[in-house]
A and B are shown apart, each in its own frame.
Chain A
């Protein structure tokens, strides 16, 4: 699937955690957030991380983004230690954080103003090439008519679509999503799953999605990792090979519900383990 001959230095593994552990604080007061964890995410893979809340899902995401250094072990992104900025990264959180003084078009364009090599030509191309690029992306998510609107004029679901566009506009090879659909209602969320799926199928970036919605994980991911309660570690790793494009009706079929049920039990077990330990 992955063509090595074309670029030569391409690495089949996009993100690798090797015995990476994170603890906050020092000495006796140190709190472990993540136990020694090893995980490989292949290029073009859509990996979902699920688990009980506070288990360190977001910690793994922050490790992959380079915003956080592991206390022990190593994190290798794009074949280099984190911090080397070997991969172009896009990120989206539950809070869309669009800038209220910019139009949707300019908000989505923001990464092009910052990320190399786009930034050097931002001035000359912002009204031509970059504008078209942004508009094409907005059209993909059904927001083309809202390019010149301001964020406060849009609904929550539309803001989150724009947020996804902002995370993708600079063509990142690694997309990090931290519960991006968590604050949306059920129907909007399902719509956005479909949008996300088509965006991914079109561009095939490596995606790391943190979510607590098992149905969402099953719908979007090509592989799901289940984490234990805090301090987290990966307790289950399974591939999801339902045909794409997946649809919402598919989520009611027996195979899908069986997967859902299995993940659910794993997480419930992980939670009760901790409860009995604490008692």
Chain B
């Protein structure tokens, strides 16, 4: 068996073992499903109420993706600005750090105050959660361009834009995609967070309502959906990363596919 297959096998085994142990412990210790429902009950809830859950899944995915795309755009622009200019970097960084260190839960009420409850605060919270890792990674990638190479290109008469386009941006691609994976999951956290506070749609809202009705299996079903969506988003961006910025990982590719 090759290393790749074995690795997959053990990863799958660990997941199954985790849920198996959970199921067995719940039965053996007679845990009430009001405290911790068994995986089988959660699965049953998921399947049984999927028609109700489905629109909420779409709602959460929609706000996450819009917030994420806006966050990527904002993050790219700010990152490109502060990564190419030393002065912009030094002046803007303290403000950015300050902004990013605000717990985003605290911002949701403000968004609700401005835009009412619903999709808009969810999108904005997702944006606020996810743009910072992109800014940091893009700025770092750009700032680490070799000064000698910049000299070589400048002496040929290259403009700042030429250097950014031919050297800076391709160099940041591995950083960018690494940050995309993180940003996608952050955006997800953001929109769910906003939904739990102020929305009547979305998985976050489903979980809040379910918990106040003591419908614990549904709360856990919501958690499951979030976990699966999170993994899917992560996997999707890993795939794109391999395609676009595979050059940074080529040694791993060779050793694992050979």
* Interface positions of A (Cβ within 8 A of B): 62, 65-67, 85, 88-93, 95, 97, 99-101, 110-111, 113-116, 150, 152, 166-167, 170, 176
Contacts and interface: CB of A to CB of B under 8 A. Distances in A.
B153 interface: yes
A89 B146 contact: no
B215 interface: no
Nearest to B149: A97
Contact of B156 (A93, A115, A150): A115
B157 A93 contact: no
Interface of B: 146, 148-149, 151-158, 162, 166-167, 170-171, 173, 245, 247-248, 250-251
Contacts of B148: 93, 95, 97
Nearest to B174: A101
A114 B155 contact: no
Given A67-B151, A91-B151, A110-B166, A97 B146 contact: yes
A93 B148 CA distance: 7
A89 B170 contact: no
Given A97-B146, A113-B166, A114-B166, A92 B152 contact: yes
A66 B158 CA distance: 12
A89 B152 CA distance: 9
Contacts of B251: 152
B155 A66 contact: yes
Contacts of A152: 250-251
A91 B168 CA distance: 19
A86 to B, nearest CB: 11
A167 B152 contact: yes
A170 B156 contact: yes
Q: Nearest 6 pairs between A and B by C-beta?
A: A97-B149, A101-B247, A65-B155, A93-B148, A91-B152, A89-B155
A67 B155 contact: yes
Contacts of B170: 99, 101
B162 A114 contact: yes
B146 A95 contact: yes
Nearest to A170: B156
A111 B155 contact: no
B250 A150 contact: yes
Contacts of A114: 153, 156-158, 162, 166
A192 to B, nearest CB: 18
Contacts of B162: 114
Given A93-B148, A95-B148, A97-B148, A67 B154 contact: yes
25 contacts: A62-B151, A65-B155, A66-B155, A90-B155, A90-B156, A91-B155, A93-B148, A93-B151, A93-B152, A95-B148, A99-B149, A99-B167, A100-B248, A101-B170, A101-B173, A101-B248, A110-B153, A113-B166, A114-B153, A114-B156, A114-B162, A150-B250, A152-B251, A170-B156, A176-B155
A116 B157 contact: yes
A97 B171 CA distance: 12
Contacts of A92: 152
Contacts of A101: 170-171, 173, 245, 247-248
Please indicate which of the listed interface residues B151, B162, B166, B248 has the most CB atoms of chain A within 10 Å of its own CB.
B151
